[in-house]
Amino acid sequence: MNKKNSLSSISKYRSPIMGMAIIWVVMFHYRLQAPILSVISNYGYAGVDFFMFLSAFGLYYSMSKNDNVMMFYKIRFLRIFPTYFIIGFLCTYFLYQKNVSITEFLWVYSTLGYFTDGEFGGWFIPSTVVLYVAFPFLYHTIMKRDDMRLFGFLMTVVFFLVGYYVVFENSNMTFTDSDRLWKHVLLLYRLPVFFMGFFTAHVLLNKKKEKVLWLGAWAFAAVGVGFYCMKTTMTVCLSTSLVSLLLLYVLAALANKTGNCKILINVMGGVGKASLEIYMIHQPVIAALKRMFPIPFAEHYDSCALLTLLLVCVIGISAHKILSKIYAKIW
């Protein structure tokens, strides 16, 4: 790989970067309190943007090798849903100890609950499924035809929708965690980064000029700073989302320079491959541990949270390896 072609390192180091991203997301949800750790964890939602970008990046590479839509859906389905159901079942009934019917569980974990008022199951994976369903259409209508005018129009529509919700929030009609639309707004604000992910893959795979990507990253960062200056809840989230795109490119360049740190790369790569399992268990595990050990968590929260993070990574990697072996024997 050409050392000067630093952005192509996104493909080579995709798993390690995803490993860093999932650790950042877990830190955000654990809300660490020490001065330096709190600063890092407070912006951990940007790790979700890394996932959105890298997901789109990987989807483009996958479709460029085999653009059979049904095969694409089959691979995505088998990667997500068996693990989603198995771990979701264990977390719901044993770690969270929720008293829900099997019917309600199946409704939520089919991702259909995302479009209604499902109270558990999270928003990220159902949102990812929505993007997976839409991706073949985006690929065949825009990228395969290399129609940048249509891509530009689509990005304009996305930013219009984002701007609409920014105005919506500034009119004091804000969302709360209990509002059904909140989950959809979280997806909406990640769409620019998702689109930039498959645009980056398109540029790299077709050997177009990389300076276009750096220019786009800087432009997104500038827009992000502008949104941040508005100082509302969701504009701060959106600004971090856009600035994180530039940070991702910088990480790719650094990974290209430090690729010889094999131990770190391998460890983060292992964490990245198990990111789905880690994401699903990290909140149920700490909730269960808080119930079991309330005093240590109250008196030494950061230490307990960091140990839980380590435990979650070990469990997640182990679960990924076990489930992968089971799946290999089934299909």
Q: Are 114 and 126 in contact (CB under 8 A)?
A: yes
Question: Confidence class of residue 6 from pLDDT cuts 50, 70 and 90?
Answer: low
Q: Residue 14: what residue type?
A: R
Q: Quick one: pLDDT at residue 76?
A: 92
pLDDT band at 187 (very low <50, low <70, confident <90, very high): confident
Confidence class for position 113, pLDDT limits 50, 70, 90: confident
Q: What is the pLDDT of residue 215?
A: 55
Evaluate if residue 67 carries a pLDDT over 70.
yes
Other CB atoms closer than 10 Å to residue 96's CB: what's the count?
Answer: 15
54 in Cβ contact with 268 (< 8 Å):
no
How big is the CA angle at 31 (ends 240 and 171), to the nearest 5 degrees?
50
Asked if 30 and 289 touch (Cβ cutoff 8 Å), the reply is no
Select, from the ranges 129-133, 209-213, 312-316, 325-329, the one with the highest average predicted confidence (pLDDT): 312-316
- The predicted pLDDT at position 323 comes to 95
Question: How far, CA to CA in Å, does 10 sit from each of 49, 118, 313?
Answer: 14, 35, 22
Domain ranges in the chain? 6-330
Mean pLDDT of 302-307: 96
Q: How confident is the model at residue 161 (pLDDT cuts 50, 70, 90)?
A: low
Of 234, 196, 202, nearest to 217 (Cα)?
196
Overall size of the chain counted in residues = 331
Q: Kindly report, residue by residue over 258-293, the tens digit of the pLDDT.
A: 656 778 888 999 999 999 999 999 999 999 999 999
pLDDT averaged over every residue in the chain: 80
What confidence score (pLDDT) does residue 3 get? 43
Task: Tell which residue, 291, 322, 323, has the closest CA to residue 308.
Answer: 291
Please check the confidence at residue 1 and state whether its pLDDT lies above 50. no
Query: Is the pLDDT confidence value at 122 over 80?
Result: no
Q: Express each pLDDT in 235-258 by its tens digit.
A: 555 556 666 667 777 777 776 676
- Collapsing DSSP to helix, strand or coil, 286 comes out as helix
pTM for the whole structure? 0.84
pLDDT for residue 213: 59
**pLDDT value of position 306:** 96
The predicted pLDDT at position 205 comes to: 79
Predicted local distance difference test score (pLDDT) of residue 183: 67
Mean pLDDT of 81-99: 88
Whether residue 307 is predicted with pLDDT greater than 90 in this model: the reply is yes
Residues 6+ apart with CB under 8 A from 82: 323, 327
CA 274 to the chain's CA centroid: 13
Report yes or no: 189 and 237 within 8 Å, Cβ to Cβ: yes
How many angstroms separate the Cα of 316 from the Cα of each of 53, 54, 274, 286, 297? 22, 20, 6, 13, 22
Pick 273 or 107 by higher pLDDT: 273
